[in-house]
Amino acid sequence: MSMLEIADIEIARAGIPIVRGTSLVANSGEISVLLGANGAGKTTLLEGISGIIPVSRGKMTLEGKDLSRSNPGVRARSGLAHVEQGRAIFAEMTTEENLKVALNPGAELDEAYALFPELKTRKHIKSGLLSGGEQQMVVIGRALLGGPKVILIDEMSAGLAPVVVGRLMTAVRRLADEGLAVVLVEQFANLALSIGDRAYVLRRGTMVYAGDCDPLRKDAGRLHKLYLGDSGDTAAA
């Protein structure tokens, strides 16, 4: 089922177009991997979807409900969660206090601890003392406790060791398997493609690929061409 659909989205910063005519679908139970070189517009697109920055043109629906002109609060209450870059935590609050910030009525802290058992043993420790990987777990767990239907995750692996990145990838795959629609922006393209269902590639603000993950995972040369715009790249549906 299509949970999130965006169609012909355009986003500008300081009057300069960053994302142009972009469309994307995120289905329940699937991970949609959004790839592209630095500056391609990936973070801008996620911020436009969550409402952090305004969208110049286009349509966005969540479960068929038009949210194109809705503010971030309405989008969040409709079931959209956004895990931004930078691991935003309240450093002086404990792990558990951070998780409780977003606790939705009907949600249980055990949902976050089931996804990341590591956090349960650290629940009384100030979040500022956690490792980078543990802080990222807190941020993802906190988003989960808001009761989302769609979760946008932006560069969760930045600055983390490969073993930690692998742990996070496993957790994100589990979220999708449990029914969430996930949109994942990730610098480790091959890892993301290995857990993803659909792939999208942005180049200079334009979508140049929309299709299955496997063709890109199996052909690094094609992915490279899509990133850089070398001759011979083609968009796929």
Number of domains forming the structure of the chain: 1
Owning domain of residue 215: 1-79+195-237
Residue 164 counted as domain residue: no
Q: What does the pLDDT read at residue 230?
A: 59
Condensed to tens digits (0 to 9), the pLDDT of residues 109-121 reads 899 999 999 999 9
Condensed to tens digits (0 to 9), the pLDDT of residues 188-225 reads 999 999 999 999 999 999 999 999 999 999 998 999 89
Residue 70 counted as domain residue: yes
- CATH number for the domain spanning 65: value is 3.40.50.300
Residue 185 counted as domain residue: no
Residue 161 counted as domain residue: no
CA distance 47 to 170: 24
Burial 185-206 (b: 16+ CB within 10 A, else e): bbebbebbbebbbbbbbbbebb
Residue 214 counted as domain residue: yes
Share of the chain above pLDDT 70, in %: 95
Residue 148 counted as domain residue: no
Structure tokens at 9: 């989205």
Residue 145 counted as domain residue: no
**Summary mean pLDDT of the chain:** 91
Q: Which residues contact 201 (CB under 8 A, 6 or more apart)?
A: 34, 35, 36, 207, 208, 209, 216, 223, 226, 227
Highest-pLDDT range among 87-91, 136-140, 158-162:
136-140
Residue 228 counted as domain residue: yes
Strand pairing report for 150-154 and 80-83: parallel
CA distance 25 to 18: 20
Q: Which residues contact 73 (CB under 8 A, 6 or more apart)?
A: none
> Tokens 């941020």, residue?
139
